[in-house]
Structures are given as C-alpha cells and as structure tokens.
Amino acid sequence: MSDGKRKESAMKRKVCPVCSKEFLTRHNAQRYCSRACTYASQRKENSELRRKREQIPAGQVPVKIKIIKRIPVFEELRPIKGLVYDAVKCTGLNVNPFYIIPMGGKKVVIRADECVEVCG
Ligand SMILES: [Zn+2]
C-alpha cells in the first residue's frame, strides 16, 4: 500500500445536498462541497424556519361580540352597532387580538376596541 492510496482511503466520498456534486473530505462533519453551498443551505434553512414561524396558526376561538362602534366597512357588510354577533376571536403572538364576523359570505374584521365580548 502506497502512501497515496492510504491518503485516499481516509477521504470520505460525499454528495453535496445543495448542488448534488460528489466531493471528497476528511471531515465527517462536512456536509457541503464548498463554503458557497454551506451558506446557500443555511439561507434555505433560515427561510424555511421563518416560513414555519409565520405559519403558526393564530388562536381562533368562537365568541359572541357586541358591536360598540360604527365599523368602517361597506354598508352591506357593516355589523350594526349595539347588536351581538357570532365571531371568531383571533389571537397571535405579535398581533393585537381581533375578531372576524362572517357577513354575507365575506369576513369582516373587528378590532378589539370596536366591540365587547359577551357571554353566549
Ligand atoms: Zn455543493
């Protein structure tokens, strides 16, 4: 066995998951053929993480709300001040809670300061 062969057998043959190129490495932990591919994969993972975070569904609870203000939407969709409506309360991590009332096939968003929750 020559020195050259021993060296080669210590190298691991890997396939880069980014560009699918085969490459040789001595380092078990190395996953990518190049710095560029390492960065590319990190960027991809980051953007996937961000997408996942954004997809976390906001909490949605069915509630009844009483409209206490004139809602600035089209008249045919406008909930009437003083009436109680079935709504969905939406809460999220970084948003103020708001309510959605289904109106004529559309959804009307009611801010928390435009209504009060009532016990159904
Ligand atoms: Zn690569």
Q: What is the pLDDT of residue 104?
A: 80
Amino acid at 11: M
**DSSP one-letter string for 15-68:** E-TTT--EEEES-TT--SSSHHHHHHHHHHHHHHHHHHHHHSPPEEEEEEEEE-
**Ligand 1 center to residue 37 CA distance, Å?**
5
CATH 2.30.30 residue window(s) in the chain: 59-118
Assigned CATH class of 59-118: mainly beta
Written as tens digits, the pLDDT of the chain (120 aa) is 555 555 555 788 999 999 999 999 998 889 999 999 999 998 888 877 777 666 545 578 899 999 999 999 988 899 999 999 999 998 877 778 899 999 888 999 999 999 999 985
Residue whose pair of structure tokens reads 């009332």 in the numeric block: 101
Give the Å distance between the CA of 91 and the centre of ligand 1. 42
Distance CA 62, CA 85 (A): 11
The alpha carbon of 2 and the centre of ligand 1 are apart by a number of angstroms equal to 30
Compute how many other C-beta atoms are within 10 angstroms of the C-beta atom of residue 50: 10
What's the pLDDT at 55?
58
Q: Is the dihedral of CA 46, 51, 56, 58 positive or negative?
A: positive
Q: Could you tell me the pTM of the whole model? A: 0.50
- Number of C-beta neighbours around residue 110 at 10 A: 21
**In the chain, count of helices (H) and strands (E)?**
2, 7
- Residue 83: predicted pLDDT: 96
Q: Ligand 1 mean position to 3 CA, how many Å?
A: 28
